[in-house]
Structure 1
């Protein structure tokens, strides 16, 4: 899958970004590492595993072990999400894959499934600091939607926070906001009892049929 778009390097600059989105296949895992890796490789970064694997396994993995655990999804032939590139440089990440592949979601009491449709889930969006504030989150999400549709997903779900007009800390921005997903055509289905940064999260859906 390849989603191309053009975004400005500077608001008044003549040069344009070259923007692409690709699945996080094994051959692109070094690019994903460039986006998700913390400054200290031993730090207990999430590596988009907290929803995917059982809590006991997640807690048992050291920070240095977690990248290899995420890579296993790509090695098994199911990319765990998509990578955004700007001028060929890895710039952003969106975790998008079948909800059934997320152990924590499958057993969640705070974000329960609303029906039996085999939905796909967006659980995380990350943009490297140097590429923020250019509207890239919208294009990254658009690439994730296109990828899920290309893989036959009937419905795409997300669980963003509702900022209610307040500024959101970057530490909690990984969920995305209700406004971001509404702009992409998602609809609010039910409020959840899950929170992030003290803000309520909604279960939102976009039909891909």
Structure 2
């Protein structure tokens, strides 16, 4: 089985405090416990000048990379990243 993470919704006053990173960790733990073996994510391809929330609601490539995701495909607007999960017993 596989899962996909497509966006994070974080209230403005809580942004840049690690909320999305915490949500990602909880989701990955839950997925692994359910026996899901792969998870895909789709961060936008953004540059240093892209600072609007709409540029980052998919999560950043750096956040996914730090969680062990690897890029598997790059398109004009988005990079597909994938992590293989280890089932929790």
Match of 1:203 in 2: 80
CA distance in 1, matches of 2:49, 2:60: 11
Partner of 1:145: 28
**1:166-204 per-position Cα deviation (integer Å, ceiling 9, x unaligned):** 3331123221111111111100011134xxxxxx21110
User: After the TM superposition, which residues 16-165 of structure 1 pair with which residues of structure 2 at under 5 Å, given as runs?
Assistant: 118-165=1-48
Q: Deviations over 1:132-175 (max 9, x none)?
A: 22122211111111111111110000011122333331123221
Cα deviation 1:34-62 (Å, max 9, x = unaligned): xxxxxxxxxxxxxxxxxxxxxxxxxxxxx
Higher radius of gyration, 1 or 2: 1
Higher relative contact order (CA 8 A, sep 6+): 2
1:78-136: CA deviation from partner (whole Å, max 9, x where unpaired): xxxxxxxxxxxxxxxxxxxxxxxxxxxxxxxxxxxxxxxx3210011111122122122
Distance 1:202 1:171 in 2: 16
Unaligned stretches of 5+ residues in structure 1: 1-117, 194-199
Equivalent-residue separation in structure 2 for 1:192 and 1:155 (angstroms) = 20
2:50 maps to which residue?
167
* Structure with more strand by fraction: 1
Q: TM-score, normalised by structure 1?
A: 0.38
Aligned residues, how many? Answer: 86
